[in-house]
């Protein structure tokens, strides 16, 4: 987080404490703008940052048009464990479409998935998962795909929480999104997940309209189907909006460098590095999943949402680590 020259040159931690103490003593809130967050360094840093960039009398004031905030999706705005939600949707699609594809009974990784052999599916790696995604996300119109995804999300429950996947969203992040928008920020999702998988739910779940969702995408082709123009999803990956792809996606879709970025894994490092590289006040945050009781605890050795290098680099880079167990009063709405 870039606060001032003094904070960058001195002891980062002690500088933050002094600044935040002065800030909290001088500002009185009629109501807590982040009610699902516990008081602490992370919450105080967010409040200080927003106040600094929205106060017209502040040297750090940022015009509303430049107040761009970007959020990863899986593991940052909703649950990603024990497997990414879109991958689970793809697995269910394989089972649903299997009668139309007898060749899957002898073709890996489809064969293993149909037989419940998840070990073999896992051993197929990213290549195998992408084969499953491509096969299950193509051959239909864009509207048909969005309908399939929306129906699945509205009817399928997470096994641990016994709530719909579409309801496994984080209340503290909803508070933060609302607080940012109330202070003139424009909020975006920037995710490695499929853009058309997220867009149907982004506005209802997070108040983020579909045009403010940046994600990975397949190739679509314009065709006339049954006498009507339609976009047909083709069996080919177009753009992967992950890791180094995230700054590219931000540049091409948003056209402005964010001043706040929030992720939860090493895959978000490039997005946060890109955000922090700009001039003026900026903040980069990582959500650390530390709450095995209310959600999950995982980081360095996890098969999803791996948080390793970012944990090591956070202190030197001025990134804020949000500890789910200690920083959040509640997890779900």
pLDDT per residue, tens digit, the chain (333 aa), is 565 433 444 444 455 555 555 555 444 445 899 999 999 999 999 999 999 999 999 999 999 999 999 999 999 999 999 999 999 999 999 999 999 999 999 999 999 999 999 999 999 998 999 999 999 999 999 999 999 999 999 999 999 999 999 999 999 999 999 999 999 999 999 999 999 999 999 999 999 999 999 999 999 999 998 899 999 999 999 999 999 999 999 999 999 999 999 999 999 999 999 999 999 999 999 999 999 999 999 999 999 999 999 999 999 999 999 999 999 999 999
CB within 8 Å of 167: residues ≥ 6 apart: 332, 333
**Cα 106–Cα 112–Cα 116 angle in degrees, nearest 5:** 135
As a whole number of angstroms, the longest Cα–Cα distance in the chain is 69
CATH 3.40.50.1000 positions along the chain are 5-78+168-327
Buried b (16+ CB within 10 A) or exposed e, 97-117: eeeeeeebeeeebbebbbeee
Note whether 69 and 83 are within 8 A (CB): no
Assigned token pair, 293: 């009781």
169 forms beta bridges with 78
- What burial letters (b/e) apply to 260-295, b meaning 16+ CB within 10 Å? bbbbbbbbbbbbbbbbbeeeebbbbbbbbbbbeeeb
Residue that the structure tokens 């070990």 belong to = 119
CA–CA separation, 27 and 312 (whole Å): 33
What is the structure's pLDDT at 226?
87
Q: Supply the pLDDT for residue 7.
A: 41
Return the pLDDT at 221: 96
Q: Let me know if 89 is exposed, middle or buried by CB neighbors in 10 A (0-12, 13-18, 19+).
A: buried
Class of domain 5-78+168-327: alpha beta
Whole-number pLDDT of residue 94: 97
Query: Rounded to whole angstroms, how far apart are CA atoms 158 and 79?
Result: 9
């Amino acid at each position: 987080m870039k606060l001032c020259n003094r904070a960058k040159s001195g002891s980062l931690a002690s500088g933050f404490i002094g600044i935040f103490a002065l800030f909290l003593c001088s500002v009185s809130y009629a109501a807590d703008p982040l009610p699902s967050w516990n008081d602490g360094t992370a919450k105080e840093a967010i409040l200080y940052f927003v106040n600094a960039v929205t106060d017209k009398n502040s040297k750090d004031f940022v015009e509303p048009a430049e107040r761009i905030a970007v959020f990863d999706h899986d593991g940052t705005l909703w649950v990603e464990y024990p497997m990414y939600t879109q991958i689970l949707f793809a697995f269910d699609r394989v089972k649903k479409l299997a009668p139309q594809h007898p060749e899957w009974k002898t073709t890996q990784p489809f064969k293993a998935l149909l037989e419940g052999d998840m070990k073999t599916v896992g051993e197929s790696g990213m290549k195998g998962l992408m084969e499953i995604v491509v096969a299950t996300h193509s051959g239909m119109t864009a509207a048909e795909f969005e309908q399939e995804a929306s129906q699945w999300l509205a009817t399928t429950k997470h096994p641990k929480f016994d709530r719909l996947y579409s309801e496994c969203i984080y209340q503290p992040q909803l508070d933060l999104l609302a607080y940012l928008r109330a202070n003139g920020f424009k909020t975006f999702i920037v995710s490695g997940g499929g853009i058309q998988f997220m867009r149907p739910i982004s506005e209802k779940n997070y108040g983020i309209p579909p045009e403010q969702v940046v994600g990975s995408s397949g190739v679509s082709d314009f065709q006339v189907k049954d006498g009507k123009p339609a976009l047909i999803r083709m069996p080919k990956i177009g753009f992967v909006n992950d890791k180094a792809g995230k700054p590219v996606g931000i540049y091409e879709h948003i056209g402005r460098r964010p001043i706040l970025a929030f992720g939860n894994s090493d895959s978000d490092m490039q997005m946060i590095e890109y955000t922090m590289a700009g001039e003026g006040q900026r903040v980069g945050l990582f959500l650390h999943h530390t709450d095995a009781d209310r959600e999950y605890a995982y980081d360095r050795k996890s098969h999803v949402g791996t948080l390793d290098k970012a944990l090591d680099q956070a202190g030197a880079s001025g990134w804020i680590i949000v500890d789910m167990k200690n920083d959040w009063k509640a997890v779900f709405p």
